[in-house]
Amino acid sequence: MAVKVLNPGLSTTVQDLGRPGYFHLGIPIGGAMDRLALRAANLLVGNDEGAAGLEAVFIGPHLEFTRDALIAVTGADMPIKLDGEEQPSWTALKVRAGQVLSFGFLQTGARIYIAIAGGIDVPIALGSRSTYPIGALGGFKGRAIAKDDELPVGSAAAGTEGRSIPKALRRRPGMPAELRVLPGLYWHRVTEESHRNFFDDQWKVAPEADRMGYRFRGGRPLQFVERDQPFGAGSDPSNIVDSCYPYGSIQVPGGTEPIILHRDAVSGGGYFMVGTVVSADMDLIGQLQPNTPTSFVKVDMDGALKARADRAALLDRIRSVFD
Amino acid sequence: MQNRYSFGGDEHLFVECDESMSLEAFFKSLSMTNAVRDSQIKGVTEICPANASFQIKFNPDIIRPDDMLREVQAIESAASKTDPVIATRIIEIPVFYQDPWTHETLMRFRERHQDPKATDLEYAARINNYSTVDDFIAAHAGSPWFVSMVGFVAGLPFMYQMVDRPRQIQVPKYLRPRTDTPKLTVGYGGCFSCIYSVRGAGGYQMFGITPMPIFDPEQKTSYLRDFMVFFRPGDIVKFKPIGREEYDHTVEDVAAGRFAPAISDVTFDLREFQKDIDGYNARLEGMINGR
């Protein structure tokens, strides 16, 4: 069975929960940017939470189904249509052979997740079906889907249509968006005044925002603590001897525009970092549109672990919908 | 030098062995990441060595961040008592310096360069006080290099020159990064050489190209069938200058599955190396293919 791509959207890729274990060789974990949304979509159609689905950013694809299927669309708000007729989001939908799934204009959020019962059955590469386009690895032929592709779908037991995730359990960034940050890494490289400004200022998502990283603008430039640059670091005060980059780490080249590295992060480089977005808030970044006002909120490790526990509790509540 | 520890959010422990790049800092990073791997701490999901630092990714649901920190600090005190010796491999990498493909690319991006009237090699030779490009190439290919980090993108090696600091080549990156770099370009930025594993954007100066693929997601290249990434942190590399003819032959041999990189297993001892760098390097090079 296959799903035929009539129109791929802007950039639609096969994603699951990623391929840990190869970052030391420059291959990032990848996988859905908004992992809660992918997990929820899979649960709705009766898949394993980590089954591969489609992640579409800003513009949805048009897909023709060659066989009856159970699907669900979660994540951003974007009208969902079957043969032109609007359908509920975060809900298991029955699709008949020959029907076409399409989407209206994006309203809020940035990325939708399309799960199909049985999962997208592309070959597993290094333990995952996620697409890593720079390395031409995983996904559908190592790239975003294109017109006339036929996506293989695994077999599935008959699922239940009509089940839905209650609105209260659909996590969304606020307005302004708030991202919790644990300061650290090379935080000591900037002055105390800049420490305060970084958290006081309101930033905006820049147009340069993708699966590798999200750039922000609008806050005051960071001032560096003076030093003689160490051997091998490069001449700019924002340079360091090339180091590893944590997922969620915030680098600020030249001290001006913070960049948060996301699931398809480069694994290292020569820019200092002021800290790291807590793991619990990584999903939210995947739903930020350019120009979204954003505040960074300072937390300590206890705050980071509390956020993590809250997110885990939310996932448990989503799971309990299906008990 | 004492490690500096910091958390990268709730899932990463970041450890800086030294602010400055040196073989000692790299060696400490490599031996500590080896020790962390051997200790099989529960909850560790990724162990990433870098040039003078390293990073451990862990699952805080399995090991609390403070416990993770204590485990790695305990390894630091144990590691300071062990011999600075690693088992690794030395690999000969053929390089076609001044090739037509990187030349075409660098000419296209001349306005992003510090010295638009010179080539990348002419510029690098001049600022490192070599009187000719050939002398500079002889220096680049004249000593072995440590793969001090694999990353940025899939399979890209950062390499650190195994000479004393006054002889170390240093070249700034392009003023503005290029939007294109040929696949397998041998590049240079700061004090690191690299090989671009895939085509794409890049800011390193371009010196030449190797005919030898180092990343193959389809795993069709004969020596990449077991694993798609060629380099590992800690590998020792020796560049071998080749001309157009040998380049073309090697490309054909790779395509036909006949090419096998020259690789030998070696033991590297940092103290012995520091006693006589040139003599130690000459012995290392002698071990390529058991020559």
Return mean pLDDT, chain A. 96
Task: Verify that B147 and B254 share a domain, yes or no.
Answer: yes
Task: Verify that B38 and B144 share a domain, yes or no.
Answer: no
Q: Could you tell me the two tokens for B265?
A: 């297993």
CATH of the domain at B19: 3.30.1360.40
Burial (CB count <10 Å: 0-12, 13-18, 19+), residue A235: exposed
Of the listed ranges A89-103, A132-146, A152-166, the one predicted with least confidence: A152-166
**Candidate from A23, A234, A275 with C-beta closest to B190:** A234
Segment holding B55, helix H or strand E: strand B53-58
Report d(CA B175, CA B177) in Å as an integer.
7
Q: Which of A23, A25, A130, A187 to mutate to test the interface with B (most CBs of B within 10 A)?
A: A25
**Candidate from A20, A244, A312 with C-beta closest to B55:** A244
Q: Could you tell me the two tokens for A64?
A: 């023709």
Q: Could you tell me the two tokens for A36?
A: 């809660």
B166-181 pLDDT, tens digit each: 999 999 888 888 989 9
Is A279–B10 a contact, with Cβ atoms under 8 angstroms apart? yes
* The CATH number fitting domain A177-317, selected from 1.20.1420.30, 2.40.100.10, 1.25.40.10, 3.40.50.2300: 2.40.100.10
CB proximity list for B122: less than 8 A, separation 6 or greater: B115, B133
Q: Name the DSSP class of A14.
A: E
Task: Verify that B247 and B186 share a domain, yes or no.
Answer: yes
pLDDT-above-70 percentage for chain B: 99
CATH of the domain at B106: 2.40.100.10
Does position A184 have pLDDT exceeding 60, yes or no?
A: yes
Residues 12 through 41 of chain B touching chain A, CB cutoff 8 Å: 12, 14, 16, 18-22
Is A184–B16 a contact, with Cβ atoms under 8 angstroms apart? no
Output the CA–CA distances (angstroms, integers) from residue A284 to A178, B5, B288, in the order listed. 9, 28, 51
**Candidate from A242, A246, A266 with C-beta closest to B153:** A266
**Confidence at residue B80, expressed as pLDDT on a 0 to 100 scale:** 75
Task: Verify that B98 and B179 share a domain, yes or no.
Answer: yes
Is A244–B151 a contact, with Cβ atoms under 8 angstroms apart? yes
Arithmetic mean of pLDDT, A135-147 = 97
Does position B102 have pLDDT exceeding 70, yes or no?
A: yes
CA distance A19 to chain B (A): 11
CA distance B250 to chain A (A): 23
B61-94 pLDDT, tens digit each: 999 999 999 999 999 988 777 788 889 999 999 9
Domains of chain A by residue range:
2-169, 177-317
A31-75 pLDDT, tens digit each: 999 999 999 999 999 999 999 999 999 999 999 999 999 999 999
Which tops the pLDDT comparison, B78 or A96?
Answer: A96
Beta-strand relationship, A177-183 and A293-298: parallel
A306-321 pLDDT, tens digit each: 999 999 999 999 999 9
Output the CA–CA distances (angstroms, integers) from residue A6 to A3, A10, A69, A132, in the order listed. 9, 13, 17, 22
**Confidence at residue B290, expressed as pLDDT on a 0 to 100 scale:** 63
Does position B153 have pLDDT exceeding 60, yes or no?
A: yes
Q: Could you tell me the two tokens for A318?
A: 């989503």
Is the minimum CB–CB distance between B177 and chain A shorter than 8 Å?
A: no
B177-218 pLDDT, tens digit each: 898 999 999 999 999 999 999 998 888 999 999 999 999 999
Of B22, B56, B81, the residue that ends a domain is: B81
Q: What is the pTM of this model?
A: 0.95
SS3 track for B135-162: HHHHHHCCCCEEEEEECCCCCCEEEEEC
CA distance A51 to chain B (A): 20
Does position A98 have pLDDT exceeding 60, yes or no?
A: yes
Task: Verify that B153 and B59 share a domain, yes or no.
Answer: no
CA distance A248 to chain B (A): 8
Is the minimum CB–CB distance between A127 and chain B shorter than 8 Å?
A: no
Is the minimum CB–CB distance between B59 and chain A shorter than 8 Å?
A: no
Of B35, B50, B81, the residue that ends a domain is: B81
Task: Verify that B153 and B24 share a domain, yes or no.
Answer: no
Q: Which of A267, A285, A302 to mutate to test the interface with B (most CBs of B within 10 A)?
A: A267
Number of domains forming the structure of chain B: 2
Return mean pLDDT, chain B. 94
HSE-CB of A126 using CA atoms within 13 angstroms = 31
CB A38 within 8 A of CB A16: yes
Task: Verify that B117 and B224 share a domain, yes or no.
Answer: yes
**Confidence at residue B291, expressed as pLDDT on a 0 to 100 scale:** 52
**Candidate from A134, A241, A266 with C-beta closest to B19:** A241
pLDDT-above-70 percentage for chain A: 100
Task: Verify that B35 and B170 share a domain, yes or no.
Answer: no
**Candidate from A26, A135, A246 with C-beta closest to B217:** A135
User: What residue numbers bound the domain in which B96 lies?
Assistant: 88-290
Dihedral angle of Cα B71, B75, B76, B81, to the nearest 10 degrees: 160
Which tops the pLDDT comparison, A270 or A104?
Answer: A104
Arithmetic mean of pLDDT, A207-211 = 95
Segment holding A41, helix H or strand E: helix A35-44
CA distance B45 to chain A (A): 6
Does position B150 have pLDDT exceeding 90, yes or no?
A: yes
Task: Verify that B103 and B56 share a domain, yes or no.
Answer: no
Is the minimum CB–CB distance between A248 and chain B shorter than 8 Å?
A: yes
Inter-chain CB pairs, A–B, below 8 Å: 177
Name chain B contacts of A21, Cβ cutoff 8 Å. Answer: 45-46
B105-131 in b/e burial notation, b at 16+ Cβ within 10 A? Answer: bbeebeeebeeeebbbbbbbbeebebe
Is A184–B7 a contact, with Cβ atoms under 8 angstroms apart? yes
Confidence grade of residue A1 (pLDDT, cut at 50, 70, 90): low
Of B51, B81, B111, the residue that ends a domain is: B81
Q: Name the DSSP class of B173.
A: P
Is A234–B11 a contact, with Cβ atoms under 8 angstroms apart? no
Is B172–A235 a contact, with Cβ atoms under 8 angstroms apart? yes
Q: Give the helix ranges, DSSP H, for chain B.
A: 23-39, 65-79, 100-108, 120-127, 133-140, 244-255, 270-275, 277-286
Is A234–B173 a contact, with Cβ atoms under 8 angstroms apart? yes
